Amino acid sequence: MLQQIEGSRAVAETVARCRPEVVCAYPISPQTHIIEAIGAMVKAGELTPCEFINVESEFAAMSVSIGASAAGARAYTATASQGLLFMMEAVYNAAGLGLPIVMTLANRAIGAPINIWNDHSDAMAARDAGWIQLFAETNQEAADLHVLAFRLAEELSVPVMVCMDGFILTHAVEGIDVPEQGDVDAFLPRYEPRQVLDPAHPISIGAMVGPEAFTEVRYLSHLRQLDALELIPALAAKFALAFGRPSGGLVHSYRTDDATTVVVAMGSVLGTIKDAVDQRRALGDRVGVVGITTFRPFPFEEVRRALSGAHRVVVIEKAFSVGYGGVLAADVASATHDMSLTLHSVVAGLGGRAITQHSIESILDDAAAARLPSVTFLDLDRDIVNSERARIGERRRSGPSAENVLSDLGSVASRIG
């Protein structure tokens, strides 16, 4: 039933309908509403059998999830930003052990400077951890992806991270059709673990592996991720049949048929980009969008196919590798290395800076006029940057950049957006 509810609420209800048996999480903005809601459902006896375990940190939350999953329970957790970094050793272990934990990542910037707002730095920090990473464009998709995530995780015995933009999605109220219990039960079979700690049939999980076999065990993880490239579209097709709407999949193209310029992006910014594309299409520009739903494993073939007609590709992404440039742009460049196209990396929306349709259209104008550099920081305030650069050049003890920049900027309370 379609309801006008908050994204976090929809995710919490959907996760509950996936019948997790252990939920262990530590609260951190902007993930908090999801965990509070699930906690309340467990306490009220609406989600049963399920144990909600309170712990002292994110490291413990993932460690408990690992233990629960290894003992054969369907395990769920959620985090964001510094919370993900704090649990990172265990995040790698979950993947290395092949435990099908599902985690929501309410995408948020990473400090310092401390910042609670949205970008994709946290997801990028876990890019190489061995988890499947799915990005939601809308709250409907954020909810649906969790049903797909449990099925995918358990079929492959790989953990899955569902990335949803913090605040922009988690705190947005919109019409969402929370998957019905009966439909979820029909789509998501009982968890049959591939490996389980069972006192009746003792085994050990987590052996030390030396140079004699480490490469092979790692390669097996790689193969499982490559299997996901086959399974994800198949599950998305099944999901569409079962729930009557599309969700999940690898990549999604919008108005790319005759497009010479294609924008590539992930997450909720795709909506604003689609509005910008419609606007440019009305003016006769041949522009389109490709949304990446599955970031890890990276769908090289599908990205190539989606960009096959493009002369110019603009990758708009909410994270970058300091000293390198856009992370997604590098992957897209790798996928299209032998194709004849010009690639631009646009870093945008860092630390919650709004990505406006106006700015996206300016980028498209610059690209069309061949004046867009290969790497751009959207809406960068050059005056502020130059003033701090000058201060650093003038004296040794120039002080902390974050504080200096804030002082140059003055009051921001009067600003909107």
Partner 1 sequence: MFQIRFHGRGGQGVVTAAEMLSVAAFDEGRFAQAFPSFGSERTGAPVVSFCRIDSRPIRSREPVLKPDALIIQDVTLIHQVDVFAGLSSEGYVLINTSKSVDELGLGDFLGTFHRERLLTCPATELALEHLGRPLPNAVLLGGFAALTSQVTLESIALAIGQRFSGTTAERNVVAATAAYQLVVRAEEELERAATN
Query: Residues in the site for partner 1, rule: CB under 8 A?
Result: 4, 6, 30, 116-117, 165, 167-168, 171-175, 268-272, 274-275, 354-358, 413-417
Q: How far is the CB of 5 from partner 1 (least distance, A)?
A: 9
CB of 181 to partner 1, least distance (A): 22
Nearer to partner 1, 277 or 313 (CB): 277
Q: What is the Cα–Cα distance from 195 to 2, expressed in whole angstroms?
A: 38
The smaller minimum CB distance to partner 1, of residues 15 and 168, is found at: 168
Contact of 203 with 195, CB cutoff 8 Å: yes
**Nearest CB to partner 1, comparing residues 175 and 189:** 175
Q: Which residues, in sequence order, are CB contacts of 116 under 8 Å at separation 6+?
A: 29, 30, 81, 108, 109, 166, 352
The one-letter amino acid at 198: D
Query: For residues 21 and 158, is the Cβ–Cβ distance under 8 A?
Result: no
Instruction: Please state, in angstroms and rounded to a whole number, the distance separating the CA atoms of residues 411 and 406.
Output: 8
Nearer to partner 1, 200 or 416 (CB): 416
Of the pair 6, 388, the CB lying nearest partner 1 is at: 6
For residues 322 and 126, give the distance between their C-alpha atoms in angstroms, rounded to a whole number.
15
Closest CB to partner 1 among 110 and 168?
Answer: 168
160 vs 270, beta carbon nearer partner 1: 270
Q: Least distance from C-beta 354 to partner 1, angstroms? A: 5
- By C-alpha distance, which of 182, 164, 208 is closest to 12? 164
**CB of 397: closest distance to partner 1 in angstroms?**
29
Q: Which two tokens stand for residue 29?
A: 């903005």
Q: How far apart are the first and last CA of the chain?
A: 32
CB of 142 to partner 1, least distance (A): 13
| CA pair distance 152, 101, nearest whole angstrom | 10
Instruction: Output the smallest distance, CB 173 to partner 1, in A.
Output: 4
| DSSP line for 41-106 | HHHTTSS-S-EEE--SSHHHHHHHHHHHHHTT--EEEEE-HHHHHHTHHHHHHHHHHT---EEEEE
**Min CB(278)–partner 1 separation in Å:** 9
